[in-house]
Structure 1
Amino acid sequence: MIEDKVRLEFMGDQALLLRLPEDVSIETGEALDRLLSLRAALLREFEGVRGIEDIIIGYRSVAVYARFEDVAPEDLLARARRAIQGSGGAPVASTRPGAVVTLPVVYGGSFGPDLDEVAERAGLSPQDVIRLHQEAVYRVAMVGFSPGFAYLIGLPEPLRVPRRETPRSRVEQGSVGIAGFQTGVYSFATPGGWQIIGRTPVALFDVRRSSPSLLAPGDEVRFEAVTEEEYHGGFGAYT
């Protein structure tokens, strides 16, 4: 059983990390399914326990952040082991069940400067790249790199092109990129090496929201092609 192979290790005096074995696939969503169930089991096990600050999913791991002055490391280990053994029940869809997010995107041009290169690498027309990208349904595997940046799995096989050989020093906020089996949206203007095929006006991170990050592990995401006029016209339904 995979549950018997989960490795536990402390991250200094800040957290306990539960790591899945390397043969559990990230690309197919197997790792995400296991981690969502494991996180749900951890939440049940640690409910009401003083000192637990957060339980966060990574690509192949889940971390229990805790104040060790309030909860003993030995207690963390014991409870985590019980959670592991109890995590094999009904699958968990998301950290926020039922969340489905549609993001409007202007593809190509100055908004997606790598669209033509991606099309050439894939042996497709730019229109086919756009069609394939927006027809797929993606799942958020994890949030990281910068606040609100979600790594999305489910990219169609023909669009799986490598990162740029030379990263850009600045990728604009809202840029939609692809790299390998992933797609994602830059939540802030940062350096980046993904192939940029479009841009969305929707804020992926906003401290004024009750949940600042728009996306969370397990959420489903769809992309919808829009015009530049629609992009500049505002998206009340999306924001």
Structure 2
Amino acid sequence: MDFRVLMMGDAAFTIEYTDLKGTVGAKQVRALRSKVQAAIGTGEIAGVVDMISTSRSLTVCLTPAYAGFETVRQQVCDLAGTAADDASQQGRTWTLPVCYEGELAPDLTEVAERAGLTAQEVINIHSGTAYSILMIGFLPGFPFMAEIDPRLRFPRRESPRTRVPAGSVAIANDQTAIYPWESPGGWHLLGRCPVALFDADQAVPSLLQAGETVCFEPVSRADFDRIEQDLKQGNLLPDSFLKGGE
């Protein structure tokens, strides 16, 4: 398994799988992180204070006072050279409602025209794929998911929006995502999801996690409003959208 080590000063280093990307790279990174965490748990690796994952790299942070930097680096490199075990990475599956209508889908018509498809065909294609969450980043709770159908792969907008509404379901290049907060953004907005993706009051604030699977279920504007209201009033919980959830 090919990788390179990037030194990040005297208290951190990054393992980067240069030839891997997308779901393959993300699986390899999750496997490495799991192995390092297991080694920390058994006391085999010491001094690690944090780990930061992307879709093809893992940064390992050590306490500056720890004297065994080279030892830890070599231990992690030894683990990095082994392939991921797909059977151990079966995460949860979510079915999230998305309204692809009106002002909730400001770029749907443009994307359909560029793809040479009807708006309904774009909806069918986008909602007909099960997406793997590669990583959580950019914003707290923001899931980068892959891979979208080649017919819907377009670069980011030339002019990013200064305000993208929370819950916006978007596409760019070979990925799709959901904006958990109102923020600037340059992705193409196809719809909106009423389920909050981040709650600081929860033990695990981010609803979605890397390695999980997300499916989108088209809903009408009336159903979107109902679901949104039920969630706000506590009549419906986010876990209701888990496969097998109640």
- The answer to whether TM tops 0.5 is yes
2:49 pairs with 48, 53, 56, which one?
A: 53
Q: Any unmatched runs of 5+ in structure 2? A: 240-246
CA distance in 1 between counterparts of 2:181 and 2:11 reads: 27
* Structure 2 counterparts to residues 79-158 of structure 1, below 5 A: 79-85=75-81, 87-88=82-83, 90-91=85-86, 94=89, 97-158=90-151
| Structure 2 counterpart of 1:226 | 219
Does residue 1:6 correspond to 2:3, yes or no?
yes
CA distance in 1 between counterparts of 2:93 and 2:101 reads: 25
Q: Any unmatched runs of 5+ in structure 1? A: none
Letter in 1 for 2:172: A
| Structure 2 counterpart of 1:74 | 70
State whether residues 98 and 193 of structure 2, in contact with CA within 8 Å, keep that contact through their aligned partners in structure 1.
Answer: yes
Larger displacement relative to structure 2 (156-165 or 107-116): 156-165
Residue 189 of structure 1 deviates from its aligned partner by 0.6
CA distance in 2 between counterparts of 1:134 and 1:155 reads: 10
Number of matched pairs: 230
1:46 partner SS: helix
State whether residues 129 and 159 of structure 1, in contact with CA within 8 Å, keep that contact through their aligned partners in structure 2.
Answer: yes
1:101 partner SS: strand
| Structure 2 counterpart of 1:238 | 238
Letter in 1 for 2:158: E
CA separation of 1:89/1:13 partners in 2, compared to 1, >3 Å: closer, same or farther? Answer: same
Letter in 1 for 2:49: E
2:86 partner SS: coil
2:37 pairs with 25, 40, 43, which one?
A: 43
Letter in 2 for 1:91: D
1:148 partner SS: coil
Residue 237 of structure 1 deviates from its aligned partner by 4.7
State whether residues 102 and 238 of structure 1, in contact with CA within 8 Å, keep that contact through their aligned partners in structure 2.
Answer: no
State whether residues 115 and 152 of structure 2, in contact with CA within 8 Å, keep that contact through their aligned partners in structure 1.
Answer: yes
State whether residues 196 and 238 of structure 2, in contact with CA within 8 Å, keep that contact through their aligned partners in structure 1.
Answer: no
Does residue 1:16 correspond to 2:13, yes or no?
yes
State whether residues 91 and 211 of structure 2, in contact with CA within 8 Å, keep that contact through their aligned partners in structure 1.
Answer: no
Residue 13 of structure 1 deviates from its aligned partner by 4.4
Residue 70 of structure 1 deviates from its aligned partner by 3.7
Larger displacement relative to structure 2 (108-117 or 44-53): 44-53
1:110 partner SS: helix
CA distance in 1 between counterparts of 2:191 and 2:132 reads: 19
1:117 partner SS: helix
CA distance in 2 between counterparts of 1:90 and 1:164 reads: 37
Letter in 2 for 1:32: A
CA distance in 2 between counterparts of 1:10 and 1:92 reads: 32
State whether residues 45 and 79 of structure 1, in contact with CA within 8 Å, keep that contact through their aligned partners in structure 2.
Answer: no
Identity within the alignment, %: 37
